[in-house]
Amino acid sequence: MKKIKKIIIFYPSYENGGATKNLQNLITFFTNKNIFVKLITGNARYSNFNYKKKRFEIIKPKKIMSLFFFQRVNYSFSVLRLFFENIRFIDSKNTVILSMQSHLLSVLSCKFLSKKIIIRNSEDPFGATKYADEKFLSILVFLSKFISFNFSDGIITNSKKSLDSIKFFLLNKGKVNLILNPYLNSINKIKKNNYKKNYILAIGRFSKQKNFSFLIDTFADFQKKFKKYKLIIIGSGQKKDEIINQINFLKIKNKVEILNWKENLEKHFRKSKFFILPSLYEGLPNILIDAINNGIPCIASKCSGSMDILKNNKSGLIFDINDKNQLLRLMYKMHYNYNFYNNNAVKFVEKSDRFLIKPQAEKYLNFFYKILDN
């Protein structure tokens, strides 16, 4: 078997979020295995995750000059140029190329240079297309995925629904592999807590994808019957003002609290009664993994990943996307049977071991070796 000495990761836009957390965990794992990792990106900085410093390097453009609508194009091609330069003369026998974003250009570059490339898909392609804001652009992205998936040498995805969607694209269906997110450092030790506040918790970006407008509309009806409950939403994003306007319009300002995003969410999980994920689409939502690892009962939309995490209703309740009446019924059910769901959530915490970093990152390495040996 060939020995992997270097991994080149293409990740043009380094932003806060679940995908970046998974990336950091992989870099830490690979560098601790004495594999040199080179991250090609546009905006990353050396941050405080625990990578092995001598085994890690960030490559990014020194300065990107551009005007108005050309900025994004220039940004993309500046990062792509660096990617092309860094893979051009690599030893393909012991170097892995992994694309985590913007797969089309990275895949075409590798095909042009006769290099193998593995891509990681982080969301359900059908859901992302169906619920996109810009339909024409989403169709172009959909077509680019068809090309990227078929011309790549291997694909890693993180949920059963995404796996099935990707297989629909593929001529060679055997090159896609399901690996859960390498997300958790450890499993929490949770004790039963019967003294939670009447809080319903939701966390995420204020974007169309996260579907908070739908949740607020549903909660407005829920609180008419259960007046002691309060909805807590933690997050940030472009649609925050729209969310605040909706809350004011529905006259539930005293029933909904918006908090800015913060790193340590444990105290909010521990004091809230249950957690709701209303997303239109996902890949494998890390915030839902956090929720089950903190022993809070969960209700989630039937988006990609929720059924993998909640084990098809074994550790939480699942509703059809945008089905307000169904979500209301599940919220009533959670309220009336709360002790049952609270006890079950505490028992289910140990199942979070499926998302520990080491076993899932090992699967990445094993898949890399499989692709190199082919």
What pLDDT, in 10s, does the model give residues 233-288?
999 888 999 999 999 999 999 999 999 987 779 999 999 999 999 999 999 999 99
Kindly give, in sequence order, each residue whose CB lies less than 8 Å from that of residue 240, ignoring residues fewer than 6 positions away. 206, 258
pLDDT of residue 180: 97
Structural tokens at position 280? 């239109």
Q: Where are the alpha helices (DSSP H) in 170-261?
A: 212-225, 240-249
Q: Identify the CATH number of the domain defined by range 6-185+356-373.
A: 3.40.50.2000
pLDDT bin (cut points 50, 70, 90) of residue 312 is low
How many CB atoms neighbour CB 145 within 10 A?
Answer: 20
Q: In the chain, pLDDT over 90 holds for what percent of residues?
A: 69
Rounded mean pLDDT, 94-116:
94
**Does 228 have pLDDT greater than 70?**
yes
Strand stretches in the chain, DSSP E: 6-10, 36-40, 56-59, 95-99, 118-121, 154-157, 176-178, 199-203, 230-234, 256-259, 274-277, 298-301, 316-319
pLDDT of residue 67: 46
pLDDT of residue 14: 82
Express each pLDDT in 143-199 by its tens digit: 999 999 999 999 999 999 999 999 988 989 999 999 999 999 999 988 777 679 999
Which of the listed ranges 13-27, 200-214, 307-321 does the model predict with the highest average pLDDT?
200-214
Torsion sign, CA atoms 15, 17, 23, 24: positive
pLDDT of residue 308: 92
pLDDT of residue 200: 98
* Among 85-94, 220-229, 306-315, the least confident range: 306-315
| Contact assessment for residue 7 and residue 85, using Cβ atoms and an 8 Å cutoff | no
| Contact assessment for residue 44 and residue 9, using Cβ atoms and an 8 Å cutoff | no
Q: For 96-121, what is the HEC assignment?
A: EEEECCCHHHHHHHHHHCCCCCEEEE
Rounded mean pLDDT, 134-142:
82
Same fold? 6-185+356-373, 199-354: yes
Assign domain 199-354 to its CATH architecture: 3-Layer(aba) Sandwich (3.40)
Which of the listed ranges 123-132, 133-142, 215-224 does the model predict with the highest average pLDDT?
215-224
**Does 327 have pLDDT greater than 70?**
yes
Torsion sign, CA atoms 61, 121, 15, 322: positive
**Does 369 have pLDDT greater than 90?**
yes
**Does 129 have pLDDT greater than 50?**
yes
Please calculate the CA angle 358-16-105 and round it to the nearest 5 degrees.
85
Angstrom distance (rounded) from CA 8 to CA 4: 11
Angstrom distance (rounded) from CA 322 to CA 294: 26
Identify the CA nearest to 53 among candidates 77, 28, 76, 16. 28
Rounded mean pLDDT, 352-365:
96
Of all residues in the chain, what percent are helix, strand and coil, respectively (each to 5)?
45, 15, 40
SS3 (DSSP) at 364:
helix
pLDDT bin (cut points 50, 70, 90) of residue 215 is very high
Q: In the chain, pLDDT over 70 holds for what percent of residues?
A: 95
Express each pLDDT in 35-79 by its tens digit: 999 999 987 777 777 888 899 999 988 765 554 444 555 667 888
Summary mean pLDDT of the chain = 90
pLDDT of residue 68: 46
SS3 (DSSP) at 294:
coil
SS3 (DSSP) at 310:
coil
More confident residue, 227 or 311: 227
How many CA atoms does the CB half-sphere of 328 hold within 13 Å?
A: 15
**Does 226 have pLDDT greater than 60?**
yes
Identify the CA nearest to 25 among candidates 130, 171, 164, 182. 182
Tell me the domain boundaries of the chain: 6-185+356-373, 199-354
Instruction: Give the β-pairing of 118-121 and 95-99.
Output: parallel
Angstrom distance (rounded) from CA 206 to CA 208: 7
Helix 18-32 with 357-373: angle, nearest 10 deg: 70
